[in-house]
Structure 1
Amino acid sequence: MLHNESIPSQKKKIIVLGSGPNRIGQGIEFDYCCTHGLLAIKECGYEAIMINCNPETVSTDFDIADKLYFEPVYWEHLWEIIEHEKPEGVIVQLGGQTALKLAKRLHEKGIKIIGTSFDDMDIAEDRGRFSDLLEQMHIPFPKYGTAFTTDDAIEVANEVGYPVLVRPSYVLGGQRMRIVINDEELEKSVLSLLKHLPGNKILIDHFLDRCQEAEIDAICDGEDVYIMGIMEHIEPAGIHSGDSHSVLPVFNLGKLEVEEMVDIAKKLALKLNIRGLINIQFAIKEGKVFVIEANPRASRTTPFIAKAYGVPFLNIATKVMLGAAKLKDFKIEPKLEGYAVKEPVFSFNKFPNVNKELGPEMKSTGEAIRFIKNLRDPWFRQLYKERSMHLSK
């Protein structure tokens, strides 16, 4: 006879969705986000419920959430728990792309998504809808087109101009993204996409070669936008942001470029009705700032920025999502002497026969933080020299 040991309480509850097992494309960074989110939920007087199935994380420790469901982050499990617990809502912003992909099912079932609404998140996630929004707002972005067949893809690629970045919508860690330079390579990439992700809309962007990349993480409460940090990538364009060394704050971008990025980030966050977190990625070429993508959730660099600046950004963002506070209620005082550098961590020693060449599909399994006093640091000078040599090829 089956016995249910989970007895629902009478308290108001909030469910946090985790990111599932650590794997290539999605690492431990989101555990930090979920842990601090759970603590913030409890501070706001709610019962904090965690759903995740990773024993190697802090968010699944017995004393973090009020109640832990150690279950796979799949819809079937989630729906049963929701019917049982009847929460006030579900937070999907803290568990990476795995959690975010469940937003549509929650929306269709009428379950409240805490923070940014499903439709606003979908605009950012759907590459086509997002590009249309950028066009309406007169924000520069790479030329693009969408396709469902190889013939359509070839026609679009020739229209936007090679090289092109081929990618599906709603993917984890740049899964199956490719940079191609001719029709033959494009046809192979599209056929592979259609085989492994049937029915997925394929987006084809003109690839901005030899440009700098940067990203902004921000919190928005619907009225104000706070820029948590601006990070500049060391690796050349075309390397996934998760595999790039990133420097906080920026060190090589001009003041006008930084101001343009901040202005775009604030406009986009307000236009998308963000309640909580957003990450926006940029490409800067010949002084012009282009938007590559926006992620309406915690990014891999959110914990990094919080650690570097010593500010509990995830606690603040969660309270903003819940509507328990506004940004103006917090006294935010970032502290960082010199620079913080994000170092990607790879596990190639565990997979000796895999292709180690980096590209738009993420291959790192984590990240580390290195503090340097100034840009004359020998380690940093060597890293930047190697990057410059790569760009000059």
Structure 2
Amino acid sequence: MKKNGFKKILVLGSGALKIGEAGEFDYSGSQAIKALKEEQIKVILINPNIATFQTSKFLADEVYFLPIDDYFVEKVIAKEKPDGVLLSFGGQTALNCGLMLQKKGVFKKYRVKILGSPISSIELTENREFFAKHLKSISLPVPPSGSAVNLKEAKRVAKKIGFPLMIRASFALGGQKSGIVKNEKELEEVVKSALAVSPQVLIEKYLHHFKEIEYEVVRDKIGNTITVCNMENLDPLGIHTGDSIVVAPSQTLNNDEYHSLRE
């Protein structure tokens, strides 16, 4: 990275402990800081959680114990003037903050290069409607679905697809405010709750008792990929991973199923 002229990089940290962020992002963020330090790059960290490994004295050069939101992050950028920023090591909070900073033109204003996952990839994966359309465009099967930004739209989509349904909040990790609904009353409750924390919900057909299988894949910028392992949730689809037990490797796939998914 030093060859590219990066002398100082800002890392948005893991923040508060909650399902979907902090534990795993504290670890990955710490490894990112170590890698940057090995390249003799100065690291600026924003992380309001003092009880994380990231904030240890021997890691980042400067640590700001400030909330990870666009107001405070812009203040730090204006003061420190970093060459680049890493958004992918702070969980959902950091991703949403990065999207807001991009929308406000902060990165362009201070000439800060976004490193790692680009804004376009973050927007694609965090906006559930865009992600579902993208999967369809590459011929991957997905359940019938539709998005909504209010209860009226949600009811229209639900009527078209039919119950039972899975409601998912966009721009949220850990299954926050998501849930299974079997009738219109439950639909109203879950959609109202989800829209209180997210601007959009995805409504899709609930795949009752389908298995939930995950593959860990590492890919570099030129397309080389490594399948590290696969995992299987003991509970069926619809029970969030944070409330379930995950076993690696998978236990109930036959050989054909395992290799077809792997490929």
Give the AA of the match of 1:179.
Answer: I
Shift of 1:35: 1.0
Spell out the pairing of 1:238-253 with structure 2 (5 A cutoff). Answer: 238-253=238-253
Of the three residues 62, 72, 94, the one matched with 2:89 is: 94
**In 2, are the aligned partners of 1:17 and 1:50 still within 8 Å (CA)?**
yes
Please say if 1:144 is aligned against 2:145: yes
SS at match of 1:237: coil
Number of residue pairs aligned between Structure 1 and Structure 2: 252
Give the AA of the match of 1:221.
Answer: D
Q: Give distance in 1, aligned partners of 2:39 and 2:149.
A: 46
Shift of 1:228: 2.7
Percent identity, please: 36
Q: TM-score, normalised by structure 2?
A: 0.88
- Residue by residue over 1:8-66, the C-alpha shift from the partner in whole angstroms, topping out at 9 and shown as x without a partner, is xx970111111212135534222111111100111122112211011111110111112
**In 2, are the aligned partners of 1:103 and 1:113 still within 8 Å (CA)?**
no
Q: Give distance in 2, aligned partners of 1:144 and 1:150.
A: 15
Shift of 1:97: 1.1
- Aligned residue in 2 for 1:227: 227
Please say if 1:202 is aligned against 2:201: yes
- Residue by residue over 1:203-243, the C-alpha shift from the partner in whole angstroms, topping out at 9 and shown as x without a partner, is 10111111110112222222212223211111222111222
Q: Which protein has greater RCO, CA pairs closer than 8 Å, 6+ apart?
A: 1
**In 2, are the aligned partners of 1:98 and 1:172 still within 8 Å (CA)?**
no
Give the AA of the match of 2:16.
Answer: P
Aligned-residue CA RMSD in angstroms? 1.9
- Aligned residue in 2 for 1:74: 69
SS at match of 1:226: strand
CA 1:204 to 1:217, structure 2 compared with 1: closer, same or farther past 3 Å? same
Note the residue ranges of structure 2 that are not aligned, 5 or more in a row.
none
- Aligned residue in 2 for 1:307: none
SS at match of 1:101: helix
CA 1:36 to 1:25, structure 2 compared with 1: closer, same or farther past 3 Å? closer
SS at match of 2:124: helix
CA 1:24 to 1:157, structure 2 compared with 1: closer, same or farther past 3 Å? same
CA 1:257 to 1:161, structure 2 compared with 1: closer, same or farther past 3 Å? farther
- Aligned residue in 2 for 1:105: 100
CA 1:256 to 1:11, structure 2 compared with 1: closer, same or farther past 3 Å? closer
Spell out the pairing of 1:1-393 with structure 2 (5 A cutoff). Answer: 12-107=7-102, 108-109=105-106, 110=108, 111-194=112-195, 196-197=196-197, 200-223=199-222, 224-263=224-263
**In 1, are the aligned partners of 2:22 and 2:91 still within 8 Å (CA)?**
no
Q: TM-score, normalised by structure 1?
A: 0.60
Note the residue ranges of structure 1 that are not aligned, 5 or more in a row.
1-9, 264-393
Q: Give distance in 1, aligned partners of 2:27 and 2:193.
A: 35
**In 2, are the aligned partners of 1:106 and 1:112 still within 8 Å (CA)?**
no
Give the AA of the match of 1:239.
Answer: I
